[in-house]
């Protein structure tokens, strides 16, 4: 088939690579978000997908909005059979959805209908799921509600951050998306409507969502830290300034600390929660680089009775 691939961040690049390597389909163009400011100089930088497409000599389309007439005219001119999508980042209007014969097929990082929305991987970790996966589905105008072509499953490991898990899903999902294109082309794959039960939503995680509530149990604290790593980054406050939490480890034997209370040893920093303590392993103070929590504690000279959080 002739394909137009839509995607923006680094997590979409493995899928583009899989389609380019398949040898079975032609990736005629790539659709991605416009260049965005990045780095200290806030210089405009092309998206990872755009950079990869340019390396491969593929036409790159960067509409401000997918309903822009200039973009739609070029899409019709290309005449794709199907448009595979991975984390494109913009809502596709009906007028665009109707262009390819086989529609737009999205690779979504959950087992639909679980975790429809922008942050499925983060929410699956924060909810304590043991299994997640990726799904390919036909995009409709509803939120991730279209019929499903296929799925792959992935175990959530006890120490997984959302970054760890998303990296594995990006590569497993790339193979799934390529296989889905093959199945659509040869007519062996039909999309199946999603179940009406088991629907959960995964809205974007905000900075406010990433603030740790020390009154919640230790397992919840650990899941929020892992789910919000690397972005937007779990955090608390210490002496009125924000402290980013990069890694914590639950310590069931420490039940003697009140929520938020600090206990500092020579090489350990413990914080009380609503159940038992967690040990801080890696933190990042405001304006500083990430460091081991014990080094941070020595630097700020924590005194007896101090705590984190409000």
**Phi and psi for 159 in degrees, rounded to 5?**
-105, 5
pLDDT (0 to 100) of residue 32 = 98
Query: How far, rounded to the nearest angstrom, does the alpha carbon of residue 162 sit from its chain's CA centroid?
Result: 7
Parts of the chain with a pLDDT under 70: none
pLDDT (0 to 100) of residue 277 = 98
pLDDT (0 to 100) of residue 42 = 85
* 113 annotated among ligand-binding-site residues: yes
pLDDT (0 to 100) of residue 142 = 87
pLDDT (0 to 100) of residue 310 = 73
DSSP summary character for residue 171? H
pTM of the model: 0.94
* 16 annotated among ligand-binding-site residues: no
* 138 annotated among ligand-binding-site residues: no
């Amino acid at each position: 088939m002739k394909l137009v691939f839509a995607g923006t961040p680094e997590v979409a690049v493995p899928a583009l690579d899989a389609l380019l390597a398949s040898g079975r389909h032609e990736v005629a163009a790539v659709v991605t978000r416009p260049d965005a400011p990045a780095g200290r100089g806030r210089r405009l930088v092309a998206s990872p997908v755009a950079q990869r497409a340019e390396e491969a000599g593929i036409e790159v389309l960067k509409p401000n909005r997918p309903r822009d007439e200039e973009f739609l005219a070029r899409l019709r001119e290309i005449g794709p059979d199907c448009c595979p999508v991975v984390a494109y980042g913009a809502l596709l209007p009906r007028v665009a959805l109707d262009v390819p014969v086989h529609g737009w097929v999205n690779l979504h990082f959950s087992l639909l209908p679980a975790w429809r929305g922008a942050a499925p991987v983060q929410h699956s970790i924060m909810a304590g799921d043991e299994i997640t996966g990726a799904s390919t589905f036909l995009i409709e105008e509803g939120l991730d509600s279209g019929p499903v072509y296929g799925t792959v499953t992935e175990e959530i490991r006890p120490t997984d951050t959302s970054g760890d898990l998303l990296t594995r899903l990006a590569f497993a999902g790339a193979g799934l998306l390529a296989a889905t294109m093959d199945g659509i082309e040869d007519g062996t794959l039909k999309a199946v409507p999603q179940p009406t039960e088991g629907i959960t939503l995964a809205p974007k995680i905000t900075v406010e969502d990433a603030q740790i509530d020390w009154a919640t149990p230790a397992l919840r604290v650990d899941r929020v830290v892992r789910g919000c790593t690397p972005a937007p980054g779990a955090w608390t406050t210490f002496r009125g300034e924000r402290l980013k939490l990069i890694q914590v480890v639950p310590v069931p034997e420490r039940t003697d600390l009140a929520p938020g209370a600090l206990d500092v040893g020579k090489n350990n920093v413990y914080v009380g929660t609503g159940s038992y303590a967690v040990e801080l392993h890696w933190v990042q103070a405001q304006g500083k680089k990430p460091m081991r929590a014990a080094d941070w504690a020595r630097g700020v000279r924590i005194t007896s009775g101090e705590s984190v959080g409000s």
